[in-house]
Amino acid sequence: NAGVTQTPKFRILKIGQSMTLQCAQDMNHNYMYWYRQDPGMGLKLIYYSVGAGITDKGEVPNGYNVSRSTTEDFPLRLELAAPSQTSVYFCASSHSRTGVTEAFFGQGTRLTVV
Amino acid sequence: QQQVKQSPQSLIVQKGGISIINCAYENTAFDYFPWYQQFPGKGPALLIAIRPDVSEKKEGRFTISFNKSAKQFSLHIMDSQPGDSATYFCAASYHEKLTFGTGTRLTIIP
């Protein structure tokens, strides 16, 4: 029972480099999310998806891109990494039920941009 | 614009005491209010949640109190234990999008 799997767990990037954070879920959830967590700031929604082929911006989308070609996978792309993108990134998924949003989170990816 | 405000930022409680964390929200369209618990190095995990048509929900030692008119809700942890030491996030949901508070680092001391 894997749940939500994120890779890699840790990564150091140089300014201007790009990378893709991988996220996969095996619960057949239609909703998937990317959050970033900064100290004292809580979790901020970057992008979310309500199903394969459908994505939308969250609160802090600048500098990121996503795609959702399958129900299981929701990769997050960082283009031209900047120090401000140093953060812990969490992927989550949930099953759509009216009035209930139980999100299941992955273990996170700690990204440092130097 | 912070739609969900959480306090305190950190909290120290003696073992056996009551831990209380408060949250306030602005958007009256929110229709689901969960609390998440996060241990170091782990992702947040759902602890307990409430719908706005209910004023209180209790699960074991954890209770959510909800005041719709004041747009406030709180988490009470009774008989707090060292294993409860973690960061707690309140959240509010609308159309399956969760908005989180800034978190409370709870430390239970012997």
Q: Is A94 on the interface with B (CB under 8 A)?
A: yes
Kindly report, residue by residue over B20-36, the tens digit of the pLDDT. Answer: 999 999 999 998 999 99
Q: Are A31 and A96 in contact (CB under 8 A)?
A: yes
Would you give the DSSP letter of residue A76?
Answer: E
Q: How buried is A20 (Cβ within 10 angstroms: 0-12 exposed, 13-18 middle, 19+ buried)?
A: middle
B82 phi/psi in degrees, rounded to 5: -55, -30
B98 vs A40, A101, A107: nearest CB: A101
pLDDT number for residue B43: 95
pLDDT number for residue B1: 56
Cis ω for the linkage preceding B40 (within 30 of 0): no
Q: Which domain holds residue A61?
A: 4-113
pLDDT number for residue B97: 85
Chain-chain contact of B93 with A96 (C-beta, under 8 angstroms): no
Chain-chain contact of B98 with A50 (C-beta, under 8 angstroms): no
Structure tokens at A92: 């989550």
Quote the CA–CA distance of B32 and A99 in Å, as a whole number: 6
Q: What's the number of domains chain A is made of?
A: 1
State the amino acid at position B66 in one-letter form.
F
pLDDT of B95 strictly over 60? yes
CATH number at residue A23: 2.60.40.10
**Shortest Cα–Cα distance, A10 to chain B (Å):** 11
Structure tokens at A88: 């812990």
Kindly report, residue by residue over B34-90, the tens digit of the pLDDT. Answer: 999 999 999 999 999 999 999 999 999 999 999 999 999 999 999 999 999 999 999
Q: Using alpha carbons only, what angle is made at residue B44 by residues B101 and A92, rounded to the nearest 5 degrees? A: 95
Q: Is B35 on the interface with A (CB under 8 A)?
A: no
Quote the CA–CA distance of B4 and B25 in Å, as a whole number: 5
Low-confidence ranges of chain A (pLDDT < 70): 1, 96-100
pLDDT of B96 strictly over 90? no
- How many other C-beta atoms are found inside a 10 Å radius of the C-beta of residue B71? 16
Q: Are B21 and B8 in contact (CB under 8 A)?
A: yes
Chain-chain contact of A40 with B9 (C-beta, under 8 angstroms): yes
Query: Where do the domains of chain B lie, and which CATH numbers do they carry?
Result: 4-109 (2.60.40.10)
